[in-house]
Amino acid sequence: MSPSPLRPATSGLLLRDLTARIAATSPVREAAPDRGDVLVTGITLDSRAVLPGDLYAALPGFNVHGACFAADAVAAGAVAVLTDAAGLDAMSATVPVLVADDPRSVVGAAAAEVYGHPSEQLTMIGITGTNGKTTTAYLVESALRAHGQRTGLIGTVETRIGDERMESVRTTPEATDLHALLGLMRDRALDACVMEVSSHALQLRRVDGVVYDVALFTNLSQDHLDFHDSMDDYFAAKASLFTPERSRAAVVCVDDAWGRRLAAQATVPTTTLATTLATTGEDVTDADWVAVEAAPTGQTEQTGQTTAGGHAPSGAFSLRERSTGRALSLVSHLPGHFNVANTALAALALLRIGLTPAEVESAMAVAPEVPGRMEVVSPGGPEAPRCVVDFAHTPDAVDAALAALRDSTAGRLIAVLGAGGDRDRGKRPAMGAAAARRADVVVVTDDNPRSEDPGEIRAAVIAGARDAVRDGAAGETEIIDGGARSSAIAEAIALAVVDTGEDRPVDTVVVLGKGHEKGQEIHGVKHPFDDRDAVRAALEALASSGVTS
């Protein structure tokens, strides 16, 4: 998504003033020709998105320097260029050029200046972690709307400016896009913006120029090790959000060792949350707040399923403050213990920005819509399995999602999953093992193979699943190579329908990995594909074929 067509109405700064303000904190020098009194009304990294009045940020890239496109940017109306010494040497300057040793490090500050520091006029909530960012963002945003606030949302699934929705290109936009979006939110009199903040964004400085009123941490587990050198490097990127340069306060879930480490080193006022008491019964932390789940009872309204023992989690839990004993009565509208943690984090964020406990309870009683996160797809009929689509694409997320569904599945749990190509290869066997430990049947399929051989990716996932079975960690789990994604989904649903007899409880089929995504990338081409549509098509095909239990 390009910010240029979304340029805020109230933006603009004379280049000489912009240069002076940037130079106050970062070394920036001017190269000829003389800048004069040029008015900068926008900023972009993309020469194809330049509009008249823009500052074009020509950054060094992985394959080519952005300065190679400076002439195109100027022809489109760029009034100045920001680059480094190498970029200056690579271009013929016909407009003023600002030169910085590390131009990426000043882009965020420059964008904030040009667009008038819009984040300072919004309540900013940022959420980071490996799993749960999207769900927690939707929980916070939904509750704020229920409380009567006008909200913006920036994340993996979409970008919202009030009621206007746009598909997101990446979890966290580039700094130029981000400040333009925040400027639009300010211009349209929004009250708050809820954002997912990725480790890539933090390391690549995409959120520079924003100080979040509250930053949330969900958890950390293996992911993105194709980008980060190690788990410590991955953690360090996340941890940079919890410093005065990026946030004013924090809420950190300390259920894992990474959360406890973060809480110990965060340099902003930090509220800690634990939910481990609900699962272990042991006092393993001195967290400020503890989420204690209610005893399972009855039947879940969301799924209509019961466990083998005849009970299912109600989703109700109490969030208690250790120091005062006060408690909030909340409901997790999505299944799984991890969604109790997400809900509790959202509630504590609302408390932190000034809502009263009663207001938090009321606002969070409204069920959110979270695309592709434990999303139940309409069943094909009374004899069809329960079908769920979820974005889980790390070993821990796969384990947590399947554990949640196991608790509310009376019959068999059938999982469909794959792993992405050109990404962290080390997690593929671990994802297969996690699925085999929890599911009765694992159908391995393609995710986004990208440039890799899909069969080789599936083989790595299958190897991990079979190792888990062979080692005795996965019981008698059946492992199937399902091939292409649409056929694998159809096979999984057919297994559930055909093999379910009259005296058997209903099975659950869960399709993992892509969630909300509406495309599948194969050899550089993004083909239209939506797991939810594939599930519906498979259910309809079975219904029309007359196959029954």
Does 513 carry a binding-site annotation?
A: yes
| Domain assignment of residue 549, yes or no | no
Domain end marker among 364, 391, 424: 364
Does 549 carry a binding-site annotation?
A: no
For 415-472, write each residue's pLDDT tens digit.
Answer: 999 999 998 899 999 999 999 999 999 999 999 999 999 999 999 999 999 999 998 8
Task: Examine the pLDDT at 300 and tell me if it is beyond 50.
Answer: no
Does 477 carry a binding-site annotation?
A: no
Output the pLDDT for position 312.
Answer: 35
Do 328 and 285 sit in the same domain of this protein? yes
Number of separate domains in the chain: 3
Task: Indicate the helix (H) or strand (E) that contains 542.
Answer: helix 531-545
Does 330 carry a binding-site annotation?
A: no
For 25-52, write each residue's pLDDT tens digit.
Answer: 888 887 766 666 899 999 999 999 999 9
Task: Examine the pLDDT at 242 and tell me if it is beyond 60.
Answer: yes
Does 63 carry a binding-site annotation?
A: no
In the structure, what pLDDT confidence band is assigned to residue 500 with cuts at 50, 70 and 90? low
| Domain assignment of residue 129, yes or no | yes
Does 47 carry a binding-site annotation?
A: yes
Task: Examine the pLDDT at 343 and tell me if it is beyond 60.
Answer: yes
User: What's the token pair of residue 455?
Assistant: 């069969």
3-state helix, strand, coil in the chain (%, to 5): 35, 20, 40
Do 278 and 170 sit in the same domain of this protein? yes
In the structure, what pLDDT confidence band is assigned to residue 296 with cuts at 50, 70 and 90? low
Do 85 and 132 sit in the same domain of this protein? no
Task: Examine the pLDDT at 313 and tell me if it is beyond 60.
Answer: no
Do 262 and 137 sit in the same domain of this protein? yes
For 504-538, write each residue's pLDDT tens digit.
Answer: 788 999 999 998 889 999 998 999 999 999 999 99
User: What's the token pair of residue 204?
Assistant: 């690549």
Do 102 and 132 sit in the same domain of this protein? no
| Domain assignment of residue 312, yes or no | yes
436: domain CATH number is 3.90.190.20
Report helix, strand or coil for 299. Answer: coil
Rounded to the nearest integer, the mean pLDDT of the chain is 88
Query: pTM (2 decimals)?
Result: 0.82
d(CA 350, CA 78): 41
Domain end marker among 327, 345, 364: 364
Output the pLDDT for position 351.
Answer: 98
Do 151 and 231 sit in the same domain of this protein? yes
CA distances from 389 to 43, 372, 476, 513, 517 (A): 38, 6, 24, 8, 11
Residue bearing the bigger pLDDT, 394 or 311: 394
In the structure, what pLDDT confidence band is assigned to residue 276 with cuts at 50, 70 and 90? low
Task: Examine the pLDDT at 401 and tell me if it is beyond 80.
Answer: yes
Output the pLDDT for position 422.
Answer: 92
In the structure, what pLDDT confidence band is assigned to residue 501 with cuts at 50, 70 and 90? low
Output the pLDDT for position 26.
Answer: 85
Query: Whole domain around residue 384: which residue ranges?
Result: 375-543
Amino acid, res. 179: H
- Identify the weakest region by mean pLDDT among 257-266, 273-282, 308-317, 443-452: 308-317
Does 130 carry a binding-site annotation?
A: yes
Do 313 and 427 sit in the same domain of this protein? no
Respond yes or no on whether the N-terminal peptide bond of residue 33 is cis (omega within 30° of 0): yes
| Domain assignment of residue 548, yes or no | no
**Residue owning tokens 């879940």:** 300
Q: What is the CA radius of gyration of the chain?
A: 25
Does 129 carry a binding-site annotation?
A: yes
Whether residue 250 contacts residue 217, with contact meaning beta carbons closer than 8 Å, is answered with yes
Does 271 carry a binding-site annotation?
A: no
Output the pLDDT for position 336.
Answer: 82
Whether residue 8 contacts residue 187, with contact meaning beta carbons closer than 8 Å, is answered with yes
Do 257 and 390 sit in the same domain of this protein? no
Do 123 and 243 sit in the same domain of this protein? yes
Does 160 carry a binding-site annotation?
A: no
Do 217 and 82 sit in the same domain of this protein? no
Domain end marker among 301, 329, 364: 364
Task: Examine the pLDDT at 549 and tell me if it is beyond 50.
Answer: no
Q: If you count them, how many residues does the chain have?
A: 549
d(CA 383, CA 379): 9
Stretch 494-499: mean pLDDT, rounded? 80
Does 135 carry a binding-site annotation?
A: yes
Output the pLDDT for position 335.
Answer: 83
Output the pLDDT for position 3.
Answer: 39
35: domain CATH number is 3.40.1390.10
| Domain assignment of residue 164, yes or no | yes
| Domain assignment of residue 297, yes or no | yes
In the structure, what pLDDT confidence band is assigned to residue 297 with cuts at 50, 70 and 90? very low
Where would I find the beta strands (DSSP E) of 218-288?
A: 250-253, 270-274
Does 449 carry a binding-site annotation?
A: yes
Do 167 and 305 sit in the same domain of this protein? yes
In the structure, what pLDDT confidence band is assigned to residue 224 with cuts at 50, 70 and 90? low
Stretch 232-247: mean pLDDT, rounded? 95
Do 442 and 485 sit in the same domain of this protein? yes
127: domain CATH number is 3.40.1190.10
| Domain assignment of residue 469, yes or no | yes
| Domain assignment of residue 329, yes or no | yes
Output the pLDDT for position 502.
Answer: 61
Task: Examine the pLDDT at 98 and tell me if it is beyond 70.
Answer: yes
User: What's the token pair of residue 353?
Assistant: 């920005």
289, β-bridge pairs: 273, 321
In the structure, what pLDDT confidence band is assigned to residue 62 with cuts at 50, 70 and 90? confident
For 184-221, write each residue's pLDDT tens digit.
Answer: 999 999 999 999 999 999 999 999 999 999 999 999 98
